[in-house]
Structure 1
Amino acid sequence: MGNETDRQALLDFKNGINQDPFQIMTSWNDSVHHCNWIGITCNPFNGRFQGDIPQEFGRLLRLKHLNLSYNSFTGNIPSNLTHCTELTVFALGHNYLTGGFPAWIGNFSSLSIIVLALNSFQGRIPQEIGRLSRLEMFQIYGNQFSGTIPASIYNISTISYFSVTQNRLHGELPQDIGFNFPNLEVFAGGVNNFTGLIPVSLSNVSGLGLIDFAENKLTGTVPTGLGSLTGLYRINFNDNKLGTGKKGDLDFLNFLTNCTNLEFLGLARNFFGGELPDSVANLSTKLKRLKLGSNLMHGNLPVGIGNLVNLTLLGLEKNFYTGSIPDDIGKLQNLVELHFTGNELSGLIPASLGNLTSLTRLHLESNKLQGNIPSEIRNCRSLIELNFSDNNLTGIVPKEVMSLSSLSVVLNMAKNALFGSLPTEVGRLINLKELDVSENKLSDNIPSSLSSCLSLERLDMHSNLLQGQIPKTLEALRGLEEIDLSHNNLSGKIPRFFVNFSTLRKLDLSFNNFEGELWNEGIFANSSVISVMGNDKLCGGAPNFHLPACSKSTTHSSKTQVVRVIIPVTVSAIFILFICFFSVWYVLRKSKKQKLEASFSQNFRLYNSYQKIFQLTDGFSEDNLIGSGSFGSVYKGVLNENGVSGATVAVKVLNLEQKRATKSFMAECGVLKSTRHRNLLKIISACSSVDRQGNEFKCLVYLFMINGNLDEWLHPTHRAAYQMRSLGICERLTIAIDVASALDYLHTYYHTPIVHCDLKPSNILLDEDLTAHVGDFGLAKFLLKGSENPKRCPMSSELKGSIGYIPPEYGSGCEVSSLGDAYSFGIVLLEIEMSRDKQEQSPQERGHNCDTFRSYQYG
């Protein structure tokens, strides 16, 4: 607590004290900082209480407000609290409390707020709650309460906030609830087992803003009367059993056009039938997320859907829509996700999709779309997922699509009628994990430029007309887990480099024209991983492949090659033995790291919710706090899901009260979502959500760097265990080269040059091998192509960066260019040089050190 708000709060507390016999508060004035006032301790970290809630609270007979939320309390609610009969606020949310809902709370006649959310309470909700005639907030979501909601609660007319989401409750919602809760503003009960109809009487609650009963078993339809509630901003009935599958199910949408504040409408995964009415185009222009997927809707998509200009997500997947995609879809320029998967849409893919420059996920698979893939897709430079598979598309694969280096999750064009060669521009997909062009009519050779796609984990090109040999350059793709080249016209020998692909779980080379002896080592010793059937000219290999034995000529040729190899191998034996130990050690460490990163990749989506992040950091425990600053706090977390138990990550939680915190979050996501380089800090996940009190919450999850940051090594104050030694000359040089490699990638090889703008030792993280990783891209800038002169800003503009690392040129105009990073890099190199303990170096070594770093600084 070190800000002005804390100081004012302390002064207000002082003003409320009538007697101060020991004159403790005489120092509480402006003569000294409030952190130095007697009795005050300022702690920059988030304090969290642990253990049981003390029974002594029960002695506070006149206590009115009890708020112990957002701590780490465990155990039951203490029984002594029964004496606190004057309580008006009873808030214990966001802890680890267990036990049942105490019935004696019904004796607190003045109680207006109950918050027990996000704990581990269980059992039934007591009938005695109905006695609380002044209750306004009833918040018990995120527990394990079971049974039905007591009918007595529905008699409390003062309730305005009612949330029982994510429990094990069942039963029907009272049809007269709208008359019993006239002041209701929030009505939420999602992720339970509620049945029956949505109460029609809710239309009488004029102040209702949120109704969310997703993931239940509600039946019937949505009452048309909800359209009279002009204050509604969220309606969520995803994952229920609403609708009959027939015409008229969606008539209520005609009335929702009156809800001018509506931002979220969720009706996905129900049984709504009929056509989507044209009135959907007249819904609130504030609407951001429209989810209608996985229903029984049919007919054409409304032409006016382009009126919903603020949509960020449009989900119409897995229905029976026909006709073409409306051209005015291109008006939705704020759209981030577009899902049309699994319909019967036909016609051309509209070129207007190229206007959706914010789009990150475009899913058009499993339809009947025809014609060419529009080259205008090249304008969607934020795409990370693109799926056109299982359609009737023809023509060549546009090189413009293959140039979208932002694609990092999947590019799938399988099951179409695309022909011609795969463009060499495929090598620009350096961040892509999955490429699927199978079941087309692609011909010619596999482009050798594929070797640049170093992030590839799955490559599927089966059932095409590909020919020629497998390029030797593909040896670089050591991260591949699945390769399917079956059912083509490939020929030549199967490359030996596949032997060393230790991460491969599937290699299908069947039904081609490969020839020669099959290898019998590495992954080729496992027939469950390899498939080579249908290659009649192959021989040898492991017995499980059932291939014919190789002829004598082949064997003789093999023996001759062996003799030729033995001589140089024998000569080099001593050298090989010398490096053997180091090689084995390095491979094992690298393999371990690759497996860990693969596990992280598989669990990406597991850590993009507040609840998961909360569990990951043990409730943001102070024991897991690594550090904090103006940006927020960084916590250490341990993964415990799907094979990555015990793996450590770092969670950067942003302080959104700080100026530019949200922009910093967006900038860092913008850079890290698609960049891939061994010397950039790897992001595992990002979370933009709300916390358990409904406040905005944003964080980033990274790989944990066990050796801290470079600043801690160069300028040690409190040396950690890993800092018992200084960096040697080789380690310093390697770190400098690592940072230079990262900057070279950002400035030169990424499709849109990126300037870090805050390069300094504390933003350079070191892993267990002291490999450097550049992080913290909160101030990063993209240098857009086509601008001859960088944008300049007046001298009054706020300087962005850290004192000591900001280039002098910024003082005369804030010019953003890669030269700024070059200057900062020079300063970092100078720190690396100057911080080295001179007593540990010989005069010759010191001279070599300086010369080396001068060449990097000025070269």
Structure 2
Amino acid sequence: NCFFSFLSFLAHCSCDNMVPSCLNFRRIWLVNVFQGMLLLSMDNGLEAATAATSANETDRLALIDFKNLITQDPLGIMGSWNDSTHFCNWLGVSCNPSKERVVILNLEAQQLAGSIPASIGNLSFLTGINLRNNSFHGQLPQETGRLLQLQHINLTYNSLSGKIPINVSHCTELRTLDVSYNNFIGKIPDQLSSLSKLVLLGLGANNLSGSIPPWIGNFSSLFKLSLALNNLQGGIPSELGKLSGLGHLQLYGNFLSGQIPSSIYNISSIYFFSVTQNQLYGQLPPDVGLRFPGLQVFAGGVNNFTGPIPVSLSNASGLQVLDFAQNSLVGTIPTNLGSLQSLVRLNFDQNNLGRGEIGDLDFFSSLANCSSLEVLGLAQNNFGGELPSSIANLSTQLKILTLGENLLHKSIPVGIQNLVNLTLLGLEGNYLNGSVPDGIGKLQNLEGLHLNVNRFSGLIPSSVGNLTRLTRLFLEENRFEGSIPPSLGKCQNLQNLNLSSNKLNGTIPKEIIGLSSLSVALVMSHNSLTGSVPLEVGKLDNLEKLDISDNKLSGGIPDTLGNCISLGRLLLEGNQFGGTIPEAMRNLRGLEDLDISHNNLSGKIPDFLAQLSSLRLLNLSYNNFEGEVSREEYGMGGQVSILGDIYSYGILLLEMFTGKSPTDTMFKDALSIHKFVKSALPEHVMDIIDPLMPLEEETDDDIEKNEHNIEEIAITRDQSQINRSRITECIVEVMKIGLMCSSRSSQKRMLMNFVVNKLRGVRDSFLSSNNWRRTR
């Protein structure tokens, strides 16, 4: 129309002197042109608006799909996702301000549960998605691969499963791909090799299998690589050495094997290096501290590394964690490690360090410079000598000090009381002696005090009662004497207390046996405790194990013991308890092991014992009971019947072959028939055999039958000698079976089917002898 009007205008107004009619037509034409242009502009704008509305609606519908799959929303986040506000204003949603398209979906740590819809792939402008620390489950949709502008994915700490979708490889703009701490399975898809712009690749803490792909070495921008806590096998690819900008390498908690490729040590930018808990071996490079000058974390525990600790580690002046526990490292701790003033954790537990000599711990003096040190782990090595007095100068920030199972002698330095922030002090399994310093009571942050299996003597310091945060106190297998300090009753967080195998005497303090916090174990066996069991024992309603066996306790078993309803093991054997089994013990329905043997108990065996359905060991032997626990009733516990009889069967074997009763007057103090036989095996077994036991020997009749044949006499005598040797061997084997069956520890006793098979083996071996057949 505009063009037609323009032609008409030219036709009518071509004269030089325009007439009024021509001027009027010009005005009309200009109006038409303006109207036409306006209409054209409106048409184009309408089309653009329609397209934008359609795209925005696609985003809105995708978000609605996401909302509809949310099954738990305790914080009410999805409440804002409604039509009363534009979706760009919904919580967790960020849009491009000009196009009103969703660019970021951030719902981190909102306690959401649900699954991710396939329509997530319709958010075509999305550059970042962060669902970290929620409870999303199901699979990650393949449609995620349609998000071509996506740069960041963080789905860590959820419960996503299935395989990592290969279509994610289409998101070639990705800088961050972190799906750690989920349940993904399968191999790492080779298609992910297309994500060449990655800066962070986090696949840790899943169930991924296979090997580490070498193509990861092509990610030239990669700064952090986490493949930890999976099921990856094979070696570490040498190609990872091409990651010249890598700073953070986490490979711990896999099944990786072989040596660490030398190329890895060329990545001078590494500051975090952890390969803990794999199957790696080899020596650490002597110059590792020079190659990794910015190292802050260097961890390779639970592997098979050998050789010495590199002295060059002192060059990594920012080192905070040095942890190579559970390896086979040898030599000494370099004294220059004391120059690492940022050191927080130094752990070489379970290696072969030290020479078992005086001066092995001289490096302690250099560690005084490590003022931030919180963990010092040196347990289960070969460190000898004594604890140096410089232990007093260690960091006051020290929380964990483990020196157990070494070869340390002499006493604990008094200065140990300076380490006031210790939460664990482990000195067990050494040869430490003397008394425990009273200043130990100043370590009031202690939660674990392990002094067991040493040669400590004297009294248990009453100051231990000041350690009110203690949860574990292990003093067993020492030479402590005197009474148990009642002050231990102030340790009202104590869960596990073991005072067994000492020389303690006196009565059991009611403050301790009534300590209701005790839940794991209370063990005071193998001492010389006297008196009765305090009624306060009934307060131990959370306790799983009570062992007061092998003392000199007397009186009756208290009725209040029936309140200890959490008991799984109750060991009272080897005392002087009298009376009957209290009826209240029927409440101990979780009881698995009950040993009240070697006491003076009497009366009828209670019927309720057969109703303790969890019972697997019942030992009532060497008392004065009447009646029996019928096998038919035992039956929920057919195994109980077997294990309950095993001990007595073992003792019976020893009785038969020695001709001695366990109550023989020779068995007193620490000597028992079990120890009597054990001490004679194997060389002196024939010395303890019952002299009345008939053994196959050469007889006068044998001689008389062959008196005219010297050669036959010689053969007969040789056969008798061989037979006697064979008999001795068989008796030794039978005695060993008896000893195993009568072991104090029920876990060490043989099951009856094994006993039968063993005895049959002994019999068959004996009968198979040609010499035996000939002398029969």
Relative to the length of structure 1, the TM-score reads 0.57
CA positional deviation for 1:477: 2.3
Amino acid at match of 1:173: L
Contact 1:378 1:400 in 2 (8 A): yes
The answer to whether residue 581 in structure 2 is matched with residue 470 in structure 1 is yes
Q: How far apart, CA to CA, are the structure 2 residues paired with 1:429 and 1:219?
A: 46
The structure with more helix, counted as a fraction of residues: 2
Q: What SS class does the counterpart of residue 257 from structure 1 fall into?
A: helix
Match for 1:213 among 304, 310, 324?
A: 324
Counterpart residue number, 1:93: 204
Q: How far apart, CA to CA, are the structure 2 residues paired with 1:8 and 1:219?
A: 62
Match for 1:178 among 286, 289, 301?
A: 289
Match for 2:362 among 228, 242, 251?
A: 251
Q: How does 1:64-143 map to 2 (within 5 A)?
A: 64-143=175-254
CA positional deviation for 1:105: 2.2
Counterpart residue number, 1:785: none
Counterpart residue number, 1:149: 260
Match for 1:457 among 554, 559, 568?
A: 568
Q: How far apart, CA to CA, are the structure 2 residues paired with 1:499 and 1:264?
A: 50
Q: How far apart, CA to CA, are the structure 1 residues paired with 2:579 and 2:622?
A: 14
Match for 1:393 among 494, 499, 504?
A: 504
Amino acid at match of 2:642: S
| Residues 87-114 of structure 1: per-residue CA shift (max 9 Å, x gap) | 3222222222222222222222222221
Segments of 5+ residues of structure 2 without an aligned counterpart are 1-72, 81-86, 113-119, 141-160, 650-776
Contact 2:333 2:363 in 1 (8 A): yes
Counterpart residue number, 2:599: 488
The answer to whether residue 341 in structure 2 is matched with residue 227 in structure 1 is no
Counterpart residue number, 1:314: 425
CA positional deviation for 1:246: 1.4
Counterpart residue number, 1:264: 375
Counterpart residue number, 1:344: 455
Tell me the matched-pair count. 526
| Residues 273-318 of structure 1: per-residue CA shift (max 9 Å, x gap) | 1111111122111111111111111110111211111111111111
Q: How far apart, CA to CA, are the structure 2 residues paired with 1:196 and 1:27?
A: 51
Q: How does 1:274-673 map to 2 (within 5 A)?
A: 274-515=385-626, 519=630, 521-523=632-634, 527-531=641-645
CA positional deviation for 1:60: 4.1
CA positional deviation for 1:533: 9.4
Q: How far apart, CA to CA, are the structure 2 residues paired with 1:128 and 1:532?
A: 61
| Residues 684-741 of structure 1: per-residue CA shift (max 9 Å, x gap) | xxxxxxxxxxxxxxxxxxxxxxxxxxxxxxxxxxxxxxxxxxxxxxxxxxxxxxxxxx
| Residues 415-448 of structure 1: per-residue CA shift (max 9 Å, x gap) | 1111111112212222222111111111222222
Q: How far apart, CA to CA, are the structure 2 residues paired with 1:243 and 1:463?
A: 42
Q: How does 1:661-740 map to 2 (within 5 A)?
A: none
Q: What SS class does the counterpart of residue 613 from structure 2 fall into?
A: coil
CA positional deviation for 1:8: 12
Q: What SS class does the counterpart of residue 386 from structure 1 fall into?
A: strand
Q: What SS class does the counterpart of residue 268 from structure 2 fall into?
A: coil
Contact 2:631 2:641 in 1 (8 A): no
CA positional deviation for 1:71: 3.4
Q: What SS class does the counterpart of residue 492 from structure 1 fall into?
A: strand
Amino acid at match of 1:341: N
Q: What SS class does the counterpart of residue 256 from structure 2 fall into?
A: strand
Q: What SS class does the counterpart of residue 128 from structure 1 fall into?
A: helix
Q: How far apart, CA to CA, are the structure 1 residues paired with 2:469 and 2:600?
A: 40
Q: How far apart, CA to CA, are the structure 2 residues paired with 1:151 and 1:534?
A: 62
Q: How far apart, CA to CA, are the structure 1 residues paired with 2:297 and 2:559?
A: 58
Q: What SS class does the counterpart of residue 297 from structure 1 fall into?
A: strand
Amino acid at match of 1:227: G
Q: How far apart, CA to CA, are the structure 1 residues paired with 2:381 and 2:646?
A: 45
Moved more, 418-427 or 206-215: 418-427
Q: How far apart, CA to CA, are the structure 1 residues paired with 2:206 and 2:98?
A: 36
Q: How far apart, CA to CA, are the structure 2 residues paired with 1:330 and 1:25?
A: 62
Amino acid at match of 2:585: L
Q: What SS class does the counterpart of residue 454 from structure 1 fall into?
A: coil
Contact 1:509 1:532 in 2 (8 A): no
Q: How far apart, CA to CA, are the structure 2 residues paired with 1:72 and 1:468?
A: 58
Counterpart residue number, 1:806: none
Q: How far apart, CA to CA, are the structure 2 residues paired with 1:288 and 1:9?
A: 48
| Residues 451-471 of structure 1: per-residue CA shift (max 9 Å, x gap) | 222222211111112222222
| Residues 358-407 of structure 1: per-residue CA shift (max 9 Å, x gap) | 11111100000011100111111111111110000011111111221111
Q: What SS class does the counterpart of residue 394 from structure 1 fall into?
A: strand
Q: How far apart, CA to CA, are the structure 1 residues paired with 2:232 and 2:163?
A: 15
Counterpart residue number, 1:630: none
Q: How far apart, CA to CA, are the structure 2 residues paired with 1:354 and 1:112?
A: 51
Q: How far apart, CA to CA, are the structure 2 residues paired with 1:45 and 1:181?
A: 36
| Residues 162-201 of structure 1: per-residue CA shift (max 9 Å, x gap) | 1111111111100100011100001011111111111110
Amino acid at match of 1:398: P
Contact 2:321 2:343 in 1 (8 A): yes
RMSD value, Cα: 3.3
Q: How far apart, CA to CA, are the structure 1 residues paired with 2:485 and 2:379?
A: 29
Contact 2:325 2:347 in 1 (8 A): yes
Match for 1:46 among 135, 156, 166?
A: 135
CA positional deviation for 1:25: 5.9
Is the alpha carbon distance of 1:9 and 1:141 closer, same or farther for their aligned partners in structure 2, counting shifts above 3 Å? farther
| Residues 55-98 of structure 1: per-residue CA shift (max 9 Å, x gap) | 33444444433333333333333333333333322222222222
Is the alpha carbon distance of 1:64 and 1:392 closer, same or farther for their aligned partners in structure 2, counting shifts above 3 Å? same
Q: What SS class does the counterpart of residue 47 from structure 1 fall into?
A: strand
The higher-RCO structure (CA 8 Å, 6+ apart) is: 1
CA positional deviation for 1:521: 4.2
Q: How far apart, CA to CA, are the structure 1 residues paired with 2:351 and 2:365?
A: 21
| Residues 660-703 of structure 1: per-residue CA shift (max 9 Å, x gap) | xxxxxxxxxxxxxxxxxxxxxxxxxxxxxxxxxxxxxxxxxxxx
Q: How far apart, CA to CA, are the structure 2 residues paired with 1:26 and 1:184?
A: 37
Q: How far apart, CA to CA, are the structure 1 residues paired with 2:104 and 2:543?
A: 62
Q: What SS class does the counterpart of residue 216 from structure 2 fall into?
A: helix
Is the alpha carbon distance of 1:103 and 1:375 closer, same or farther for their aligned partners in structure 2, counting shifts above 3 Å? same
Contact 1:396 1:418 in 2 (8 A): yes
Contact 1:512 1:534 in 2 (8 A): no
Is the alpha carbon distance of 1:466 and 1:18 closer, same or farther for their aligned partners in structure 2, counting shifts above 3 Å? closer
Q: How far apart, CA to CA, are the structure 2 residues paired with 1:8 and 1:321?
A: 70
Contact 1:221 1:242 in 2 (8 A): yes
Contact 1:227 1:259 in 2 (8 A): yes
Q: How far apart, CA to CA, are the structure 2 residues paired with 1:518 and 1:392?
A: 36
Is the alpha carbon distance of 1:485 and 1:157 closer, same or farther for their aligned partners in structure 2, counting shifts above 3 Å? same
When Rg is computed on C-alpha atoms for both structures, the one with the higher figure is: 2
Q: What SS class does the counterpart of residue 157 from structure 1 fall into?
A: coil
Q: What SS class does the counterpart of residue 309 from structure 1 fall into?
A: coil
Contact 1:511 1:532 in 2 (8 A): no
CA positional deviation for 1:215: 1.4
Amino acid at match of 1:312: T
CA positional deviation for 1:505: 1.5
Segments of 5+ residues of structure 1 without an aligned counterpart are 536-859
